[in-house]
């Protein structure tokens, strides 16, 4: 696909499912955590899985849904420690470093905006090479609002200068993309395969890419 890079000054980038493979997160929340939760509370794995899925569903789209401290308290387990147990699964998606490098070479502002909790962000930045290729990093926990909320975008704009009309935002979440669209971000892209172990899927209403080599800016 073609992107008119001459009309883009800033690139806002999601982390999980966009720059990083979502397999780590899916495996953690759907497999590893239920297993360890069942062991910790001495209950059967199926019961643990069903209980956790119901509790996750209640908080979906809220800041608590992304908060490691909230779930550590609610579930009486150390979520950060459990994530470290499988940190070897954290990996970048294909062409991420090349894409970020070329954005910098072309003078584009590279800003990470993520719903990830600061503890999770710290773990993932330590496990990957993306932090040195980003100009600014923000987590929604800094603003006490998830990216699904318009309040997040207004808070971000107060903290970081960018022209929405000349900004490209890439995210794998349709709810977040809709929020960005409502705010007025001029260029929006979804990710068709955020989890490398899962099949591609459409992001209804938005153009999608599979990997970043499809949109590399001209050298």
Last residue of a domain, one of 88, 107, 129: 88
Residues 100 and 185 in one domain: yes
Do the domain assignments include residue 219? Answer: no
Residues 119 and 11 in one domain: yes
Strand (E) or helix (H) holding 111: strand 109-114
Residues 13 and 30 in one domain: no
* Alpha carbons 94 and 218: distance in angstroms, whole number: 18
Nearest Cα neighbor of 162 from 95, 112, 211, 97 is: 112
List the structure tokens of 109.
């502002």
Question: What one-character-per-residue DSSP string does 53-105 give?
Answer: HHHHHHHTTSTGGG-HHHHHHHHTS-HHHHHHHTGGG--BPTTHHHHHHHHHH
Do the domain assignments include residue 44? Answer: yes
Residues 201 and 173 in one domain: yes
Question: What one-character-per-residue DSSP string does 131-191 give?
Answer: GGG-SEEEEGGGTTS-TTSHHHHHHHHHHS---GGGEEEE-S-HHHHHHHHHHT-SEEEEE
Q: Is the separation of the CB atoms in 208 and 202 below 8 Å? A: yes
Predicted TM-score of the model (pTM):
0.95
Residues 111 and 197 in one domain: yes
Residues 30 and 59 in one domain: yes
* Alpha carbons 111 and 137: distance in angstroms, whole number: 6
Domain around 77: 24-88
Tens-level pLDDT at each residue, the chain (219 residues): 789 999 999 999 999 999 999 999 999 999 999 999 999 999 999 999 999 999 999 998 889 999 999 999 999 999 999 999 999 999 999 999 999 999 999 999 999 999 999 999 999 999 998 999 999 999 999 999 999 999 999 999 999 999 999 999 999 999 999 999 999 999 999 999 999 999 999 899 999 999 999 999 976
């Amino acid at each position: 696909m073609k992107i008119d890079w001459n009309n883009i000054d800033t690139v806002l980038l999601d982390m999980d499912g966009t720059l990083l493979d979502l397999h780590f997160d899916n495996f953690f929340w759907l497999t590893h955590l239920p297993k360890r939760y069942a062991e910790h509370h001495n209950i059967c794995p199926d019961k643990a899985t069903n209980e956790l899925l119901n509790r996750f569903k209640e908080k979906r789209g809220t800041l608590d849904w992304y908060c490691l401290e909230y779930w550590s308290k609610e579930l009486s387990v150390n979520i950060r420690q459990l994530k470290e147990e499988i940190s070897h699964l954290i990996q970048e998606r294909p062409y991420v470093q090349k894409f970020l490098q070329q954005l910098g070479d072309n003078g584009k502002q590279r800003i990470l905006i993520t719903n990830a909790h600061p503890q999770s962000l710290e773990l993932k930045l330590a496990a990957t090479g993306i932090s040195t290729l980003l100009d600014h990093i923000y987590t929604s926990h800094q603003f006490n609002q998830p990216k699904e909320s318009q309040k997040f975008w207004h808070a971000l704009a107060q903290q970081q200068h960018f022209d929405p009309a000349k900004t490209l935002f890439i995210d794998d979440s349709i709810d977040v993309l809709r929020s960005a669209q409502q705010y007025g971000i001029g260029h929006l892209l979804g990710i068709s395969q955020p989890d490398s172990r899962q099949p591609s899927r459409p992001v209804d209403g938005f153009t999608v890419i599979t990997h970043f080599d499809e949109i590399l800016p001209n050298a």
